[in-house]
């Protein structure tokens, strides 16, 4: 019961401080408000960016390996050697399909940019992706209307295509594009499907502005051995790790390319975890910057809380003397002022959190970027505010608890 009494009295004193000394309290709490706003705002942006980036990375597949000419994010890259490598090709894919026992599926991908036409409707510089039949099994392709091409259409290189939602809207306004023709660099192509709308990912890629065609039909537009962007994507079987699949693919390709023991690989096997590790370092730097920016404001806010409490102790010396003369213990006085400091700091912190929440609402309403104020960040803001109040209020509270009751009572006269 004594602690409930302490809390009640501390709340009364804290709110009384807000009412009686509005300007002084406001200015003192402003540092806490700005500090919590700075720290939580940075971490909210940080978390929202991380969710956005990781969703984009995960959309590529965490259990998918990418066989390419160039490695991702490799230090001390000997680019002059890699320049002479051949691009991965369909022969490599066929070899992997025949010999791999640890893969679930594999597909070839090659890309270029082309102008698309349907009558007077034209779209320039659109991403055209040539893929093989198993592509949807690996890359989680979602089709809103129509179908994917068949294995026969893939092998025969038939002129069929799936188009992104934005391509459909621009080339076929107010019209169902299924069964209609478009021209890709002069080649008439039959639309058989529309890709589900998703928007841009963190890397600026979007299926909405993409056209997908069979890989053998892609030969009409690029040299698959020299396109500069040939990729084999390989999906691991359930319970098979990326490391196990990587080792198997390395052995298969080294044998097929007739590389001798000790010779360097003439291919790269990439995976999304490499990108994730790079972003981890980036996010660590952002987090540090957030604490540095907010730390100065929190320090100023801490001094503000301490100033309020020193003044509060001085103004209530006589009350402290009366409480002690009536039997109040030192710890009672100590906790009374500590709780008061914590409550004041929490008020400043809550205002900071409310400002962050308002900013998040404005950004979500006015942009396509989705920001999230997580419960973790709310708890962090409340916890930091409480700690600032506890640390800032300890010395004034300790001094109040050590006051001599006789000397304190004399302040009444």
pTM of the model: 0.66
Q: How much is the pLDDT for 225?
A: 66
- Dihedral angle computed from the Cα positions of residues 403, 404, 406 and 412, in that order, rounded to the nearest 10 degrees: -10
DSSP string, 395-409: HHHHHHHT--HHHHH
- Dihedral angle computed from the Cα positions of residues 189, 191, 194 and 200, in that order, rounded to the nearest 10 degrees: 10
Nearest one of 401, 403, 379, 277 to 335, comparing CA atoms: 401
Nearest one of 303, 297, 299, 306 to 393, comparing CA atoms: 306
Contact (Cβ atoms closer than 8 angstroms) between residue 113 and residue 126 = yes
CA–CA separation, 188 and 66 (whole Å): 31
CA–CA separation, 97 and 242 (whole Å): 17
CA–CA separation, 64 and 71 (whole Å): 15
Contact (Cβ atoms closer than 8 angstroms) between residue 131 and residue 229 = no
Per residue in 153-183, pLDDT tens? 988 889 999 999 999 999 998 889 998 999 9
DSSP 8-state assignment for residue 219: G
Beta strand residue intervals within 132-253, DSSP E:
143-146, 160-163, 181-184, 187-195, 210-214, 231-236
Q: Are strands 268-271 and 64-68 parallel, antiparallel or unpaired?
A: antiparallel
Per residue in 94-144, pLDDT tens? 999 999 999 999 999 988 889 899 888 888 888 899 999 899 888 878 888
Contacts of 29 (CB under 8 A, 6+ apart): 301, 304, 305, 344, 345, 347, 348, 351
CA–CA separation, 381 and 348 (whole Å): 10
CA–CA separation, 29 and 31 (whole Å): 5
Band the pLDDT of 316: cuts 50, 70, 90.
Answer: confident
Q: In a 3-state reduction of DSSP, which class is residue 52?
A: helix
CB atoms within 10 A of CB 226: 10
CA angle, 177 then 217 then 202, to 5°: 65
Over 80: is that where the pLDDT of 34 sits?
yes
Per residue in 320-362, pLDDT tens? 777 777 676 777 777 777 887 888 888 888 999 999 999 999 9
């Amino acid at each position: 019961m004594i602690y409930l009494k302490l809390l009640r009295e501390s709340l009364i004193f804290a709110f009384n401080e807000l009412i009686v000394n509005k300007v002084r309290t406001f200015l003192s709490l402003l540092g806490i408000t700005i500090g919590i706003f700075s720290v939580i705002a940075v971490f909210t942006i940080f978390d929202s960016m991380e969710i956005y980036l990781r969703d984009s990375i995960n959309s590529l597949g965490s259990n998918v390996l990418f066989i390419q000419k160039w490695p991702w994010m490799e230090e001390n890259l000997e680019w002059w050697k890699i320049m002479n490598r051949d691009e991965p090709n369909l022969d490599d894919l066929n070899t992997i399909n025949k010999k791999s026992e640890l893969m679930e599926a594999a597909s070839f991908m090659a890309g270029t940019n082309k102008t698309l036409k349907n009558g007077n409707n034209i779209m320039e510089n659109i991403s055209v992706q040539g893929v093989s039949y198993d592509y949807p099994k690996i890359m989680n392709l979602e089709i809103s209307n129509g179908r994917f091409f068949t294995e026969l259409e893939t092998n025969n290189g038939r002129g069929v295509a799936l188009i992104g939602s934005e391509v459909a809207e621009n080339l076929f306004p107010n019209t169902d594009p299924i069964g209609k023709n478009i021209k890709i660099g002069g080649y008439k192509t039959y639309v058989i499907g529309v890709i589900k709308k998703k928007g841009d990912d963190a890397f600026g890629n979007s299926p909405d502005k993409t056209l997908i065609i069979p890989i053998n039909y892609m030969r009409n537009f690029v040299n698959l051995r020299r396109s500069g962007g040939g990729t084999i994507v390989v999906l691991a079987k359930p319970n098979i790790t990326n490391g196990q699949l990587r080792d198997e693919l390395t052995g298969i390709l080294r044998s097929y390319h007739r590389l001798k023991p000790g010779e360097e690989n003439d291919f790269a096997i990439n995976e999304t975890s490499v990108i994730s590790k790079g972003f981890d370092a980036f996010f660590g730097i952002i987090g540090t910057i957030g604490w540095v920016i907010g730390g100065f404001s929190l320090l100023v806010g801490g001094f503000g809380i301490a100033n309020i409490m020193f003044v509060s102790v001085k103004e209530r010396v006589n009350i402290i003397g009366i409480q002690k003369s009536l039997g109040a213990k030192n710890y009672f006085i100590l906790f009374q002022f500590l709780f008061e400091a914590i409550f004041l700091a929490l008020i400043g912190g809550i205002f900071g959190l409310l400002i962050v929440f308002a900013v998040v609402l404005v950004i979500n309403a006015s942009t396509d970027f989705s920001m999230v104020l997580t419960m973790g960040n709310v708890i962090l803001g409340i916890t930091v505010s409480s700690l600032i109040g506890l640390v800032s209020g300890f010395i004034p509270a300790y001094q109040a608890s050590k006051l001599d009751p006789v000397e304190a009572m004399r302040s009444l006269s």
